[in-house]
Amino acid sequence: MSERSVLVTGACGEIGQALVQSLTKRGFHIVTADLAPLPETIKSLPVEHIQGDLVNRIKILYDYDFDIIFHLAASLSSKAEVATEEAHRINVEGTMQLLLLAAYKSEKLKKSVKFLFPSSIAVYGFPDRAAKHAAGNVKAGEWNTPHTMYGCNKLYCEKLGVYYSCFCGQRHLDPNPPTMLDFRAIRFPGLVSAFTVPSGGTSDYGPEMLHAAAAGKPYACFVDADTRISFMAMPDAIKSLLMLMDAPRECLSSQVYNIAAFSLTAGEFRQRALSAFPGAQITFKPNPRRQGIVDSWPEDVDDALARKDWDWKPDYDEDQFFNNYFLPEIKKRYQKASTRTIE
């Protein structure tokens, strides 16, 4: 493949680290951007890193001609609820700045910049558990009534992405319309990686519980045992981003897609953790604010459109996730850690 230029913002986050590892295998020229320096996992890879606040450093990014932008930088749902204005600045202003850059470059170079945007199940919002349970698998257009700052930010940024790629002002009436950016978004469920631990999100109880059990540490889950949302293995999340990136434009009947893998309750997560790590100390100590957030999110989502348009299918259902991905990897990870401690 000829070298293409890719920007990954939020590269030091969980999705970012895994995505950068995959992208380097494709021979892209990669520029990463993040507030933090690159972590060990991706530090030695051939990437150019720009460290700092995206909104303040946006001018630097105009020096590059990116073919593809993965805009992963965000303040996640729990963190965003305690620092709402800051979250709005990061999530909305940051996205707006990058969309403007992509729109400008698309028009100037007459080549659509692909803009891949991770959205979230947080864009949905149910008034209570009964409504959530009654809704079952939600379609992309249903219950777009988010309760959180993060959910509002993600939903609005989806709309901005569609606006700048299709209906920017009166451009659609122009007989010689300029080249538009190519915006594509995926609404992710809770993601679980065997290699990294999340922070700042509200689906974090799933991965936190499993990592704690594997590390032999007690864990008090911040939602109750009956809480159900959909989850996905990190490799599937990366696969979905790459599949959507590669999908021919003409196959896409939407710019925003749900994807799903498996849905389970916090109690079922605990059972899985106990089977793999007998004696794991997992209790439930719901935090009302965080419980309220997860109760507003769907039990599962309908991803039929992604399956139809770009052949989406996860590699890991619930059993495969635990047996073929998470448990083998996490056991290696904590075995190594305990060996190092003993040495």
Question: Which residues in this chain contact ligand SER in the complex, by CB under 6 A?
Answer: 76-77, 120-122, 150, 188, 190, 201-203
Residue 251 CB partners (closer than 8 Å, separation 6+): 309, 310
Phi, psi of 60 (to 5 degrees): -60, -35
Instruction: Return the residue nearest ligand SER (CB atom).
Output: 201
Residue (30 or 72) nearer to ligand SER, CB: 72
Q: Tell the smallest beta-carbon distance from residue 256 to ligand SER (Å).
A: 14
Q: Tell the smallest beta-carbon distance from residue 109 to ligand SER (Å).
A: 32
Q: Tell the smallest beta-carbon distance from residue 317 to ligand SER (Å).
A: 19
Residue (76 or 101) nearer to ligand SER, CB: 76
Tokens 């299918």, residue located: 313
Contact 299, 230 (CB under 8 A): yes
Q: Tell the smallest beta-carbon distance from residue 123 to ligand SER (Å).
A: 9
Q: Tell the smallest beta-carbon distance from residue 83 to ligand SER (Å).
A: 14
Residue 174 CB partners (closer than 8 Å, separation 6+): none
Residue (30 or 122) nearer to ligand SER, CB: 122
Helices (H) and strands (E) in the chain, counts: 15, 14
CA distance 343 to 338: 9
Residue (77 or 97) nearer to ligand SER, CB: 77
Q: Half-sphere exposure of 43 toward its Cβ, with a 13 Å CA cutoff?
A: 6
Greatest extent of the chain over all pairs of C-alpha atoms, in Å: 72
CA distance 231 to 20: 21
Residue (47 or 189) nearer to ligand SER, CB: 189
